[in-house]
């Protein structure tokens, strides 16, 4: 019975956060198929973690943390292969046209590209803070950085992003 309850809670977490995790993955890996795989893998690993009897206090933050690690693993694997084909292809934000007719995917691409161009130290922090509305404490849990450091980086990162944005506009 306990297992059933755990399964139910886990699936509820998927229903609630799947788009958040998918969005994070897509912005980072820039390929829809890979993002879907990484998202599924993130939830699978989270389930494996839960079944070891460990508790997760903040599921959303935990999922981001697992997703982030998965993406790092994916990047390492990718580096050993050729990145050229992926980069040449650009961002694949392909989605179900019928469901997203009103979406201007160029904007999403543009926004993701600008965030992606930020240095590593700012990229995730800016994303978590402003796109996903995570608290500084949550970001600290995910990235392992001190809260003070994160506050400073948010300020600097935002400035850098603005500069990049203005540059593209001009």
Partner 1 sequence: MNKFSIEQFKKALSTIRMSEHERTRVRRALEQYIHTAYTKPIRSPFLRHANTFILRPMQAIAMILVVLVSSGAGLSYAANEALPGEPLYGFKVNINEEILTIAMDSETRAQYEVSRAAKRLEETAQLAIMGRIDAKTETTIREQLAKHTQKAQASAKEASVNNPETTIAITSRLENELTARGKVLEEIKAVKNDDDASLTTIIDATQTTLDEIAIDKENAIQAVALENTEVTKERVEKKRIIVDEKLKTLENLMLIPSEKLSSDVTQIEDELDQIQIEETMQDATVTTISEASSEETPLEAIDETLSQTIDDPTSIESLTENITIIQNLIKNADAFMEDKEYGKAFESLQRALEKADETLKNIELKEQYSQALEDSLVDESVTTIAPLSIVESATTTDSSISQSISQETRATLPKQ
List 60, 108, 149, 151, residue binding partner 1 (CB under 8 A): 108
113 is an interface residue for partner 1 by CB under 8 A:
no
86 is an interface residue for partner 1 by CB under 8 A:
no
Helices (H) and strands (E) in the chain — how many of each?
8, 0
Alpha-carbon span 113 to 93, nearest angstrom:
12
33 is an interface residue for partner 1 by CB under 8 A:
yes
Q: In whole angstroms, how large is the CA radius of gyration of the chain?
A: 17
Q: Which of residues 49-68 bind partner 1 (CB under 8 A)?
A: 51-53
Alpha-carbon span 64 to 62, nearest angstrom:
5
40 is an interface residue for partner 1 by CB under 8 A:
yes
Alpha-carbon span 42 to 133, nearest angstrom:
20
H helix runs in 56-145, sequence order: 59-80, 84-89, 105-116, 120-126, 136-143
C-beta of 97: minimal distance to partner 1 in Å? 6
Interface contacts to partner 1, rule CB under 8 A: 1, 3-4, 7-8, 10-11, 14-15, 18-19, 22-23, 26-27, 32-33, 36-37, 39-40, 43-44, 47-48, 51-53, 92-100, 103-105, 107-108, 110-112, 114-115, 130-131, 158, 161-162, 165-166, 169-170
């Amino acid at each position: 019975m306990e297992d059933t309850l755990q399964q139910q809670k886990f699936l509820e977490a998927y229903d609630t956060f799947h788009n958040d995790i998918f969005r994070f993955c897509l912005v980072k890996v820039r390929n829809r198929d890979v993002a879907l795989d990484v998202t599924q893998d993130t939830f699978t690993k989270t389930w494996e973690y839960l079944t070891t009897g460990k508790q997760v206090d903040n599921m959303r933050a935990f999922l981001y943390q697992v997703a982030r690690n998965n993406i790092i693993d994916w990047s390492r694997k990718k580096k050993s292969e050729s990145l050229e084909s992926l980069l040449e292809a650009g961002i694949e934000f392909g989605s179900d046209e019928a469901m997203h007719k009103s979406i201007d995917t160029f904007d999403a691409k543009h926004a993701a590209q600008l965030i992606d161009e930020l240095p590593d130290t700012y990229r995730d922090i800016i994303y978590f803070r402003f796109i996903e509305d995570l608290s500084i404490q949550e970001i600290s849990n995910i990235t392992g950085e001190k809260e003070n450091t994160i506050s400073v980086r948010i300020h600097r990162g935002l400035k850098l992003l603005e500069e990049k944005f203005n540059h593209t506009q001009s």
